[in-house]
Chain A
Amino acid sequence: MSGPICSEPWGGKGVLLVIKYGMTTWRLKSDEQLVLEVGKGRTQALAELVRRHQQRALHLAFRSVGDWHLAEDVVQEAFLRVNRAAPQYRPDAKFSTWFYRIVVNLCMDELRKLQRRAKLSDDALAGDVSSEGNPQHAQEVKELQQAVYEALDQLSERERLAVILHRFEGHSHGQITDIMDASVSAIESLLVRAYRKLRQGLAAFSDKSTNKSQESGKTVV
């Protein structure tokens, strides 16, 4: 850096402190405050929202559509919609609920577009750390994950997303009703119906899973 201010010893440090303070200030703001700032045209606020929520949104999108590139497109579009709608945002609505509703709706749109859902690619299938050096176990893990994906594929878009929000994202029934814009009873019926369908599709793996849970004492999430 150069210039009359930065040429002084304290000048450069002062500038860095201002920048660091600015970044820290964004991190101290709540999601709702950040959206209001986005509505005023402050793009750094949007960058902070992206930093906070992109990973979770990506996981949600990936579990829904089964492809990382598609998941990236979904999440990108979700944040762009946040940016466009921010001037009309009312802070009485919780940002996470609003945002995940956008993500869920985009996922449902993508699921409807996919006429024939492709199998998960090998890249998409997670590599279980415990299977390193154990090819047989790695293969079993991949088969299980493929079976889970195919079983989810048999559900309707709403059933699938409700299960993903409930099982993987840890949302409560109330949160799911807000995100999916449905009643509590409708969501509960949706979940019960979905789990029972999944039970049929995953019956072959149920016994193995029960044995592993008993051996390890915990369930992989």
Chain B
Amino acid sequence: MDHLTDKQLLNILAQPTLDRDLTDHVAGCESCAQRLQSLKEPWDVLGQWAVDSPDIDLTNRIMSKVQADAPIFLQQPRALIRIAASIIIGVGVGSWLGQTTAHPVSDQQVTEAMYLDVLTLNSSTGWTSPLLEEGQE
């Protein structure tokens, strides 16, 4: 007669009525019955250990931790969008203003440029040309 394996004995523990053949074998085999009993005794005693859990809900605690551990840009996406928008708008407006706003040149700046031109014959502005022509006349 083939005795029951440990796996079969453990299966009987968990589901005693699942396999009639196994239980019938145990009923007729003293060795298997003793082996099963050695497992069943602690199994039954363990069953007395009921766990009456306190009213615990970890949802808020876990979600708070997830939020806290997230990178800053994930924690406040709306703020990030506002900051990005502000930068884009600021750069865009500034660029537009820089291109469209005229900067009048003062008389002093013109005089200074002419003095600089006189120092060199190759004037980039061409302003000294009339003076030189007047001198030649």
Co-assembled chains A and B = yes
Known: A167-B46, A192-B39, A205-B45. A47 touches B51 (CB 8 A): no
5 contacts between A and B (CB under 8 A): A43-B63, A54-B57, A196-B42, A198-B45, A209-B41
Q: Which of A63, A126, A188, A198 contacts B52 (CB 8 A)?
A: A126
- In the assembled complex, the Cα of A63 lies from the Cα of B66 at a distance in Å of 26
- Count of residues in A whose CB is under 8 Å from the partner chain: 56
- Count of residues in B whose CB is under 8 Å from the partner chain: 34
Known: A62-B51, A192-B39. A68 touches B56 (CB 8 A): yes
B52 and A127 contact, CB distance less than 8 A? yes
Cβ–Cβ < 8 Å partners of A212 in chain B = 48
Known: A50-B62, A80-B62, A192-B39. A148 touches B45 (CB 8 A): yes
Known: A59-B53, A196-B38. A76 touches B6 (CB 8 A): no
A209 and B45 contact, CB distance less than 8 A? yes
A198 and B46 contact, CB distance less than 8 A? yes
For A30-44 the 0/1 string (1 means CB < 8 A from B) is 000000000001010
Cβ–Cβ < 8 Å partners of B58 in chain A = 50, 54, 58, 72, 75-76, 79
- A111 interface contact, C-beta 8 A: no
Task: Please classify the interface of chain B as helix (H, G, I), strand (E, B), loop, or mixed, using the class held by over half of its residues.
Answer: helix
- In the assembled complex, the Cα of A219 lies from the Cα of B10 at a distance in Å of 17
List B residues at the A interface (Cβ < 8 Å): 5-7, 9-10, 14, 38-39, 41-54, 56-59, 61-63, 65-67, 69, 74
Cβ–Cβ < 8 Å partners of B52 in chain A = 126-127
Cβ–Cβ < 8 Å partners of B14 in chain A = 166, 170, 172
Cβ–Cβ < 8 Å partners of A184 in chain B = 7
Cβ–Cβ < 8 Å partners of A63 in chain B = 49, 51
A202 and B56 contact, CB distance less than 8 A? no
